[in-house]
Amino acid sequence: MWVLSLLLFFNLAYAEIERLIREEVHRKFGETVKVQKVKVHKMEEAVKPERIELQMEYGKSRAVAYIYSGEKRYQATLDALWKVRVFVAIEDIQKGSPIKPDMFRSEERFLKSLPSDLQLNAEDFESFVASTRITKGTILRRSLLKEVPVVRAGDVVEALYRSGNLELSFRATAIDGGQVGKVIRLKKDDRVLRGRVLSKGRVEVLP
């Protein structure tokens, strides 16, 4: 009977530790993470946790929590899933096709890691074409895309100049082509300017 009581006592202690760890994860990361599993290591006696110290990085599936009780420290490992918004193809997309928002549905999913090539914005789709055939149901990744110039040499673009509270807009001709973020040369009358491509047909003039 005492063995069953001891097991029950240990189970309650583990449950309390797991609850505290999950609360600490939620406090730090909110609803962006879901803890799948907590495993406490080498705890030979039931303890009353006094403090939880979390070592967990955003987007990493494995993490460590330290449980402090008196002068003793115990360790637990966590398996986590991270919430990310993804774009899922609703049709087959042929190689070389321009990418458009209506080709995808937006979903929230929980994944073990957050690869940087999953982090896309629908507003940027006009900058890409499919670098390979994308089949229906595929999660869109940057590795499936090829960036194309949104400004081409010879295009007449809207040039934006900002200085403090002053903002001017004028037409200029692109000397170079480039993708979003690239610095290109512009021509306005007889002057050559430098600007950073903002979007299709829009360039911000640099000092």
The pLDDT score that the predictor gives to residue 161 is 92
d(CA 196, CA 189) in angstroms, rounded, equals: 19
CB 17 within 8 A of CB 39: no
Q: Which amino acid is at 82?
A: W
The pLDDT score that the predictor gives to residue 48 is 79
Record: fold of 84-147: Type Iii Antifreeze Protein Isoform Hplc 12 (3.90.1210)
Residue 160: Cβ-neighbour burial (10 angstroms; 0-12, 13-18, 19+):
middle
- Show the DSSP H helices in the chain as ranges: 2-29
Tens-binned pLDDT, residue by residue, of the chain (207 aa):
433 343 444 455 678 888 889 999 999 999 999 999 999 887 666 677 888 899 999 888 899 999 888 888 889 999 999 999 999 999 999 999 999 999 999 999 999 988 888 888 887 787 889 999 999 999 999 999 998 888 999 999 999 999 888 899 999 999 999 988 899 999 999 899 999 999 889 999 998
* C-alpha to C-alpha distances, 140 to 41, 44, 50, 200, nearest whole angstrom: 39, 47, 45, 21
**Domain spans in the chain, listed from the N-terminal domain onward:** 2-82, 84-147, 156-205
Neighbours of 186 (CB within 10 A): 23
Would you put residue 89 in left (φ > 0), alpha (ψ -120 to 50) or beta? beta
DSSP 144-200: GEEE--SB-TT-EEEEEEEETTEEEEEEEEESS-B-TT-EEEEEETTEEEEEEEEET
CB 155 within 8 A of CB 174: yes
Give the class (CATH, top level) of 156-205: mainly beta
Q: What are phi and psi of 42, to 5 degrees?
A: 50, 45
